[in-house]
Amino acid sequence: MRMIRALAALFLLCLLLAGCAAAAPAEESGDVPELVATVFPAYDFARQIAGGRARVTLLVPPGSESHSFEPTPRDMARIEGCALLVCNGGESEAWLDQILEDREQVPVLSMLSCVQALEEETVEGMQEVYEGPEGDEGPEYDEHVWTSPVNAVLICRALCEKLCELDPEGEESYRANLAAYEEQLWELDAAFREVVKNGQRDTVIFADRFPVRYFTEEYGLRYYAAFPGCADDAEPSAKTVAFLIDKVRQEQIPAVFTIEFSNQKMADVICEDTGCQKLLFHSCHNVSAEELEAGVSYLELMRNDLKSLEVALGPWR
């Protein structure tokens, strides 16, 4: 009996010591504050501005849509314990509302609130796939605000201010990171303006959803597309495909765009019929697991888009 009691006491002591170790302060355990980002642009902007002063976690898994994302209990715990939540805002992240309603103490930065929001629009030839509920009032805003590098600058500035507010000791570091990153964003902006200026046309065609209205608005481009940016996956009508084929021919457009993770079937049909190229224009909304593992960045993806745009605005092939 004495032996059993001794072993029990030893067991309890081990548990107590383990508990003390798990509860060690952040500075002793090497932990750093965690920033949680819902979508890839927020994730990349956060890691660029925070630098080594924080750990940044991407909440929506690689290859997933934020519209259909359902947070796990672990995700909710991450949000509750984070130093800052950087989200997109808007209808695509309606699942956040209930989480944040019960966690008002979580600091939040919404990218949509950092810029002048634009309403979704339906242009000529675009297939309408969204209908609001009966009695629905108010505009639906395009949430892909980061697709304009100018907006990216505004978002990063707001993010820097938020981090300085939450961590005054890191202000010098945050502002230095912002200055360096902003310089690269302005270089990207200038490069896009140069390509548009030297282009043979001001029209692009997306044989896909169109999540880059902020981009085309910033650089004065006209566009035709199959679906709005908020549309779910849908099969295009024959009328929509025929319209885009006619536009490619009429304006002698050498390339049509698809976006990441699309099935590309419509683009294949248009290219086969017209002889134009199919090119990726990455909206940067999310990336694949392989891209995330390789450390792909917003700048890298947008520089690839720059090359695609140069082809699409270039001579007919």
**Per-residue pLDDT at 137:** 57
Tell me the pLDDT tens digit for each residue of 11-50: 333 333 333 333 333 333 346 789 999 999 999 999 999 9
**171-198 and 298-312 are packed helices; what angle lies between their axes, rounded to 10 degrees?**
10
Sorting pLDDT into bands at 50, 70 and 90, what band is 219? very high
Tell me the pLDDT tens digit for each residue of 235-254: 788 999 999 999 999 999 99
Sorting pLDDT into bands at 50, 70 and 90, what band is 129? low
Q: For the chain, which domains are there?
A: 33-187 (3.40.50.1980), 199-312 (3.40.50.1980)
Q: From CA 221, how far away is CA 47, in angstroms rounded? A: 31
Is residue 226 pLDDT above 70, yes or no?
yes
Please report where in the chains the tokens 């304009």 appear, as a residue: 148
Please report where in the chains the tokens 């006209």 appear, as a residue: 222
CA 213 to chain centre: 14
Q: Which residues are paired to 50 by β-bridges?
A: none
Tell me the pLDDT tens digit for each residue of 259-293: 999 989 999 999 999 999 999 999 999 999 999 99
**Per-residue pLDDT at 99:** 81
Residue type, 91: E
Q: Which residues are paired to 62 by β-bridges?
A: none
**Per-residue pLDDT at 12:** 37
Is residue 6 pLDDT above 90, yes or no?
no
SS3 280: strand
User: pTM here?
Assistant: 0.86
Q: From CA 30, how far away is CA 146, in angstroms rounded? A: 33
